[in-house]
A and B are shown apart, each in its own frame.
Chain A
Amino acid sequence: MAASVLKKVVIEKINEVAAVLMQKGTLIAPVKEEAGANFREIKDPKDIYLDYYNSILSPKMVFFPQMEDFVKYQLAKPKADAKIVEMNLKPAFLFGVRPCDVKSFEILDKHFYASGIIDTYWKARRDNTTIIGYAFDLDKPVDSADFYNTLGIGAADPEGSDIFIVKKDKELLLKGITKKGEALLGELSMLEKADAKDEKYFTDYVKKGKEKKTRFMKVDDKAVAKKYEDIFENNEYWTKMSDACLSCGVCTFVCPTCYCFDICDETIFGKGTRRRIWDACMFTDFTLETSGHNPRTKVSQRLRQKVCHKYSFSVRKYDVISCVGCGRCTRSCPVNIDIYSMVEEATKL
């Protein structure tokens, strides 16, 4: 394989890069909001906020939006009049994704299409999007909630991105990782060619990113999956873990690997939409059956579902722990419940 392309650009010129990407399609990048950064469609290149740590909501919302309309219909009209909502599929550029979140896309791919059952909405958006990953700033402290090192992810892992960016002083180094990424780099004429020093900087940065800086424990996928099977009925553990849990939806809504959704018909003044919206196993009515029976009435049962799904069921089904250690659930939990501590405590049992 030919050595892949490395280009560079001074940070101020990122506006120019953005302008070109916006012409080619939709550009999605972190913007600063009241509570912190989030990935949003960029309308003005000045809104791009590169000095962020990580977003509050995970970038999964780009491929799996909280609300996805399927069909529009009208009450009392024939079924044939109902219209399928077309996806507005322009090429998309997802800019500035952290390595742990890039990894989450790969995990959700297993669920949304590699398993054989294809979610056309997820797949279409994935195929249409160029992922531009962005290494964590190795000179800045890591957030105390993060533990992506535990899941084998480095702070500057380029795998999974089409283009990967590393910051070097006042410049950004951009490397083409896939063919798609390289082709795009070639089309961005404002980029300069990087020299051998830059090449070395990039390689060293990726290597340095592998050093363990986040919280770390040794986790063996199979062993932890088995452990959770063994303690599935350990009520003492689950009660203790969930005594403080509010059973809200924050941890799952911010999580890059949670994918549960509900499909509902919402009608106003006779005009309706069949759509899917995010759902959460932590919600009281998540497992409520039509009969009125709810097999999970306790908070401990719901929290058990959440943790076991990620650390046990997913390993059994897809051969991967469906958690990337991004720390979002811990950071956003109103009562500071920490999944890392939960797993740590389980492994000691």
Chain B
Amino acid sequence: MTNFKQIEENLKKEAKKLLEAGSVAVVLAYTKGADEKHPQPFAAKKADDVANIIFNEYCNHNLARYIVRYAPGTKIAVAVKAADSRAVVVLIQEEKIKRENLILLGIPVSGMKNQKTGEIIDEKTTGGLTNPVVYDVLLGEEIHTGKPVSPYTVLEQYEKMDKDARFAFWKAQFDKCIRCYACRKACPMCYCDPCFIDQTKPRWADKSPQSHGNLMYHLTRFQHLAGRCIDCGECTRACPVDIPLYLFHKKVAKDCEEMFKQAAGMKIEDKLVMVDFRVEDSDKILE
């Protein structure tokens, strides 16, 4: 079992060291919201702030989401779980940030929980990974126990549905959407400014929450995340009406992995599948 208290202590120690030495301007971590069961992403900027840092099984938020908010060149330390570290990798590959400006405080963790239901969500949120794929300091022991789980097992029941049933399933889900855009705002990979859905010249989809516009918004967003989504599950967790967006993202990720033999955000040296071309690449996408 992950020792959350130990990780919290180590996180505080490292954050304090970095802020006191002035080696970073900000440490991205967690603090308590209304209470500890409702944690909040936290930007510690002074050594004094460190006392407010916490880490527990509800600290799901992907902190990579906040990096691009700081001016280019800002030295930032980020607490990264497996999924957060993969998001950092994609941001580096996409040249949004530079590796040398980051200090990655790695958190190996299993047993993360959904704040609303208490359900363990490892497979949904970490793409089956427990250890960060890149880090400078590790705040706990790497976890190598337990069988590695496939992030795609949850798809089986949906892949069995025929086309019509699948369309009906997604149409019903998207009809629930209230277009609050929490999914895109929680996503570490959704940093476009402006996002296509906010553009007015041309307007790509209606703003009103109706089937056709909702479909346009979601299908376009899924496409924009192809080969980039690192399966952190934040979009789904943010959704106030429980639309299982992760299923669609996982399906696209699975197809990408099968076609291009590469999962998103695993190695900094990798090129993004959608900007790279290899002779052996699958042509299935064109069929």
Contacts and interface: CB of A to CB of B under 8 A. Distances in A.
B240 A35 contact: yes
Contacts of B162: none
A299 B209 CA distance: 24
B241 A34 contact: yes
Nearest to B237: A334
A246 B40 CA distance: 11
B13 interface: no
Contacts, number: 109
A340 interface: yes
Interface of A is mostly: loop
B41 A283 contact: no
B170 to A, nearest CB: 14
A85 interface: no
Nearest to B197: A285
With a 10 A CB-CB cut-off, give which of B39, B181, B234 has the most chain A CB atoms.
B181
B193 A284 contact: yes
Interface in B85-129: 115
B238 A246 contact: yes
A144 interface: yes
A66 interface: yes
Nearest to A243: B43
With a 10 A CB-CB cut-off, give which of A66, A246, A253, A285 has the most chain B CB atoms.
A246
Interface string B145-185: 00000000000000000000000000000001011111011
A67 B208 contact: yes
Contact of B186 (A144, A277, A334): A334
B42 interface: yes
A35 B176 CA distance: 10
A56 B176 CA distance: 12
Interface residues of B, number: 40
Contacts of A340: 34
B186 A248 contact: yes
A284 B198 contact: yes
Interface in A303-337: 330, 332, 334-337
A148 B90 CA distance: 44
B276 interface: no
A35 B114 CA distance: 13
Interface string B184-198: 111000000111001
A233 to B, nearest CB: 19
B249 interface: no
Given A35-B241, A67-B208, A250-B240, A334 B193 contact: no
Contacts of B43: 243-244
Given A57-B178, A285-B198, A244 B41 contact: yes
Top 6 A-B residue pairs of the complex, sorted by shortest distance between their CB atoms: A336-B33, A334-B238, A35-B242, A249-B180, A248-B182, A246-B185
Given A250-B238, A284-B193, 13 more contacts: A35-B241, A35-B242, A246-B185, A264-B208, A266-B208, A285-B194, A330-B38, A334-B182, A334-B234, A334-B237, A335-B40, A338-B33, A341-B33
Interface of B: 33-35, 38-43, 61, 65-66, 69, 115, 176, 178-182, 184-186, 193-195, 198, 206-210, 212, 234, 237-242
29 contacts: A33-B176, A34-B176, A35-B239, A35-B241, A56-B240, A56-B241, A66-B178, A66-B209, A144-B34, A144-B35, A244-B41, A246-B65, A246-B182, A247-B185, A248-B181, A249-B181, A250-B180, A264-B207, A266-B208, A277-B209, A280-B180, A284-B198, A285-B194, A299-B69, A330-B34, A335-B186, A336-B34, A336-B39, A338-B33
